[in-house]
Amino acid sequence: MNNAQLEKIIGYKFKNSEYLERALTHSSFNREKNTKHKDNERLEFLGDAFLDAIISVELFHRMSGDTEGKLTKTRALIVCEKALADAARKIDLGSYMNMGHGEESAGGRSKDSILADGAEAVIGAVFLDGGYEAARRLVLWLFEDTINEAVEGKIFLDYKSVVQEVLQSGGTPVNITYIIDREEGPAHDKTFYVHMECNGKCYGSGSGKSKKEAEQNAARQTLNTLKRGEIF
């Protein structure tokens, strides 16, 4: 598709079009085409850093009475993979991505991970081309609804999604499953006990009044364990 149309959608005209072209190039495109074009991974790295900074400043001003811990948790809701993928879909980013036929055939244009990385790369490209203020305007427009809902307490942390994102970040394929260990109590008031496995290894466990709640608690325990460095 025509990148000029994407520029109209995001409200930013690139002075150096190579930045945008690079931001839209998935690594599979270069591997398959055997080209020397640069992919978007370095821009993704840059965009990730500036996204965190822009959201942090915005929350600092909008949540002036909240603690550092509250600010951190709220930011996590906004910069997670799902929110980034939703932002990418807002501008139909998948349609503009350059990727290999194999990745495209596997549904790459709609994968949350690829869309999230692409969104960060576009933010990084806008920063390089137009500076902090241009990147800030784009981020606040892309994430306007998510920021408002997070600040108002209308969205909650999906621990299962965060765990999957963290475990996939190492680049190794992961197979995450939640297994019910047992159920206790009468039919109208059951408690479910669940543990989470990744590639056959037990990572965390949790309980809850529903299977969904138990799975979320197992994922939350896994995150806490990962943060303490007790896994890996």
3-state SS, residue 84: helix
Catalytic residue IDs: 48, 120
Report the alpha-carbon distance of residue 42 to residue 48 in Å, rounded.
10
Which residue's structure tokens are 């709609």?
A: 110
Token pair of 189, please?
């008031």
Report the alpha-carbon distance of residue 97 to residue 24 in Å, rounded.
5
Which residue's structure tokens are 């996204």?
A: 51
Closest by CA position to 48, among listed 84, 102, 22, 74: 84
Runs of H (alpha helix) within the chain:
3-10, 17-23, 27-33, 41-62, 68-78, 81-90, 101-105, 112-130, 132-142, 144-151, 159-168, 211-227
Q: What is the DSSP letter of 81?
A: H
